[in-house]
Amino acid sequence: MASYLRDQYPFLGIPTPARRAAVQALLPRTVDWDLVDACWARPEREYQYVACDHLKKVTLTGEDLPRLRTLVTTKPWWDTVDALAKPIGAVASPADMGAWAVDENLWVRRVAILHQLGRRVETDTDLLGDILAANLGSGEFFIDKAIGWALRDYSKTDPTWVRGFLASHEVSALSRREGSKYL
């Protein structure tokens, strides 16, 4: 895993199923920011994964957004940022995500791009289009990949909208390839 993540972080070497089985009964049912902060402070990446698993299973509110943003920008890489995108999207307002879409931090922007994954017919296409358009031309691999992922995911629900977006916007080759995979 360390190699797969370009040696950004050390790992204990615990596979995901074993890690989840080991901590499942230990994680509280309500948000425990002390636990999250302690996990984020550890160097080994599995600890951040435990924190992400915890945050996915508890009820968060808009008041948690500043702390969630700090997690996104602390020890950031696609693995934890992507794990946090849906929990953040569940509590963020469209205005929050609009602001995140133009943030100077690429990982914050990636969360904005991905926050509606899996919403299907409940996707706010106006917001999605605005967020994607705001991030076109960045030249940043992780942004272009996220744009493609968001388009690919939504193409399963509304391929016509995705075709229209691709036809009316100049997207990177990576975003186009990823976004049109199911078209």
Same domain, 94 and 48: no
Residue 3 clears pLDDT 80, i.e. is over it: no
**Token code pair at residue 35:** 């636990």
3-state secondary structure 158-178: CHHHHHHHHHHCCCCHHHHHH
Q: What distance in Å separates the CA atoms of residue 109 and residue 141, rounded to the nearest whole number?
A: 12
Q: Which two tokens stand for residue 23?
A: 């901590």
Residues 126 and 47 in one domain: no
Check whether residue 72 and residue 162 sit in a common domain.
yes
Cβ burial 98-133 (10 Å sphere, 16+ → b, else e): eebbebeebbbbbbbbbbbbebeeebeeebbebbbe
71 and 150 both lie in a single domain: yes
State the total domains in the chain.
Answer: 2
> What pLDDT sits at residue 20?
95
Residues 78, 24 within the same domain: no
* Mean model confidence pLDDT for the chain: 96
pLDDT classification of 1: cutoffs 50, 70, 90: confident
Residue 6 has pLDDT above 90, yes or no: no
Same domain (yes/no): 54, 83:
no
Residues 35 and 74 occupy one common structural domain: no
Check whether residue 163 and residue 106 sit in a common domain.
yes
CATH number of the domain residue 111 falls in: 1.25.10.90
pLDDT of residue 52: 98
pTM: 0.95
Q: Residue 50 belongs to what domain range?
A: 1-59
Taking only the tens place, the pLDDT of each residue in 153-180 is 999 999 999 999 999 999 999 999 999 9
Whether the predicted pLDDT of 135 surpasses 90: yes
Are both 78 and 25 inside the same structural domain?
Answer: no
At 52-77, the pLDDT tens digits run 999 999 999 999 999 999 999 999 99
Who's near 165: CB < 8 A, 6+ residues apart? Answer: 129, 132, 151, 179
Shared domain check, 71 and 145: yes
Of 51, 50, 41, nearest in space to 16 by CA? 50
Residues 6+ apart with CB under 8 A from 179: 147, 148, 149, 150, 151, 152, 155, 162, 165, 166, 171
Percent of the chain's residues with pLDDT above 90: 94
Looking at the fold, whether 44 and 70 belong to one and the same domain comes out as no
Q: Domain boundary at 28, 44, 59, which? A: 59
